A = this chain, B = another copy of it.
Amino acid sequence: MTAPLRVALLGCGTVGSAVLRLVEEQADDLAARIGRPIEVAGIAVRRPAHHPDVPQHLLTTDSAALVRRDDVDLVVEVIGGIEPARSLMYAAFEAGKSVVSANKALLAEDGPALHAAAAKAGVDLYYEAAVAGAIPLLRPLRESLAGDQLRRVVGIVNGTTNYILSRMAETGAGFAEALAEATELGYAEADPTADVDGFDAAAKAAILASLAFHTPVSSADVHREGISAVSATDVARAAEIGCTVKLLAICERVPNGTGDSVAVRVHPAMIPTAHPLASVGGAFNAVFVEAEAAGQLMFYGQGAGGEPTASAVLGDLVAVARNRVAGASGQGPTGYADLAVRPMAETPTRYHVSLDVADKPGVLAGVAQEFARQHVSISTVRQTGHGDAATLVIVTHSAPDAALSATIAALRDMPVVRGVTSVLRVEGLS
């Protein structure tokens, strides 16, 4: 067997240390699959003293020097965040080295420029681990479905929020209580903002939309709402109409007279319990794909964690290493389409609304009138009287999101409406 391919590992947290262990444990298999052994040439970390279990001679704080070293062939970036990851990636490309990354934030912010730099250098940039952890998803979208027209990608791509929403449904707890439990069990980070406010899911949605529709989509193009406003009432109301609440990443191709556009959004929504995504519980991820010829597909698995994420990193590492051995580079994504991004206000959605109203004649007519004023058509309405008050539960047909939110604002101002107790979008209802 020839000389080993040497890998620079940037970052050695949960994912990095799993990569390190698996590269050692599976050395023989990886060598057989690649055609050359691989070995770790160096590990860049900020604080070497925090990594007592790692071979100390491999550790360095000078990540910029590591990626440029002549004895480094390939780079694995598992630092996360924008800088220094971005500069290190560009440095790697300039030095002719392929990069495997798990960095959703960076890919979602700067994907097209990074791909262009990799292509110019004739090297690979792979990042299967950036979306939905271990689930093979980006390669299927980029390659397996390259001969099809994708209509829609809907996913549960954040395990922390899925755990919190699952617990709220199981226990009747409110958001704050379920978050506290998730934090205690290690399912949520000390600062949970990136997860609960949907930033993590939005970055993944941008990457999915870019690959699915062959068009550049960045995090800034994604309409984003987190789950901190989801109440125990919302979850209970969902159950009453046979639904469950999930944080969804939704990427759609919207047909248009003058040219299709894409709509990309992350928000909590009620989905029917019979929907394949409804039973995806706890820290699992799943992504549902609708394509013109293939029809409906679903991909399911562990979306986070050191080992599952490392599995995806290593799959990419084998691919870029095989390309390197073959003296070639792999097929990157294509971004020829350049579709417009449709603003959320114009994106068709459906709403569930629960209202406490005065129980007297004409109230339903008045409420229905507010929907009609915004040209929002009502699908179902259920009225439950109790004393001098009543509860109205309304599910609309599809309408532009702006018309729906304007309707809600108008309802809040109606004297007969004592309170709007739950408002949540609904997806997947026929």
Please list the residues of chain A having a beta carbon within 8 angstroms of any beta carbon in chain B: 18, 22, 26, 29-30, 32-33, 128, 134-136, 139-140, 143-149, 214, 276, 291-302, 307-308, 310-319, 322-323, 326, 328, 331, 334, 336-337
Q: How many copies does the complex hold?
A: 2
Who on chain B is nearest to A35 by CB?
B334
Residue contact B315 to A143, C-beta cutoff 8 Å: yes
Residue contact A311 to B33, C-beta cutoff 8 Å: no
Residues from chain B with Cβ under 8 Å of A316 in the complex: 147
Residue contact B295 to A302, C-beta cutoff 8 Å: yes
CA distance A259 to B19 in the complex (A): 25
- A253 → B minimal CB distance (Å): 12
CA distance A323 to B148 in the complex (A): 18
Q: Among B18, B136, B148, point to the contact of A140 (Cβ < 8 A).
A: B136
Residue contact B140 to A319, C-beta cutoff 8 Å: no
Residue contact A298 to B295, C-beta cutoff 8 Å: no
CA distance A136 to B147 in the complex (A): 12
Residue contact A136 to B144, C-beta cutoff 8 Å: yes
List 23 A-B residue pairs with CB atoms under 8 Å apart, sorted by A's residue number.
A26-B149, A29-B149, A32-B334, A32-B336, A32-B337, A134-B291, A136-B140, A136-B145, A136-B297, A139-B139, A140-B140, A145-B311, A146-B319, A147-B313, A147-B314, A147-B317, A276-B300, A293-B311, A294-B308, A294-B312, A297-B300, A300-B300, A328-B328
Most buried by B among A298, A310, A317: A298
Residues from chain B with Cβ under 8 Å of A128 in the complex: 144
Q: Among B147, B299, B308, point to the contact of A299 (Cβ < 8 A).
A: B299
Known: A297-B300, A331-B322. A311 touches B136 (CB 8 A): no
CA distance A144 to B134 in the complex (A): 9
Residue contact A214 to B312, C-beta cutoff 8 Å: no
Most buried by B among A29, A149, A293, A294: A293
Known: A32-B336, A33-B146. A296 touches B291 (CB 8 A): no
CA distance A336 to B149 in the complex (A): 36
Who on chain B is nearest to A138 by CB?
B144
Residue contact B319 to A331, C-beta cutoff 8 Å: yes
Residues from chain B with Cβ under 8 Å of A299 in the complex: 297-300
Per CB-CB distance, the 9 closest pairs between chain A and chain B, nearest first, are A147-B314, A136-B144, A136-B140, A134-B294, A294-B311, A293-B311, A297-B301, A146-B318, A298-B300
CA distance A299 to B134 in the complex (A): 13
Q: Among B135, B136, B145, B276, point to the contact of A315 (Cβ < 8 A).
A: B145
Residue contact A336 to B301, C-beta cutoff 8 Å: no
Residue contact B143 to A293, C-beta cutoff 8 Å: no
Residue contact B140 to A314, C-beta cutoff 8 Å: no
CA distance A357 to B48 in the complex (A): 71
Residues from chain B with Cβ under 8 Å of A322 in the complex: 331
CA distance A375 to B383 in the complex (A): 64
- A120 → B minimal CB distance (Å): 15
CA distance A139 to B149 in the complex (A): 19
Known: A146-B318, A315-B145. A134 touches B301 (CB 8 A): no
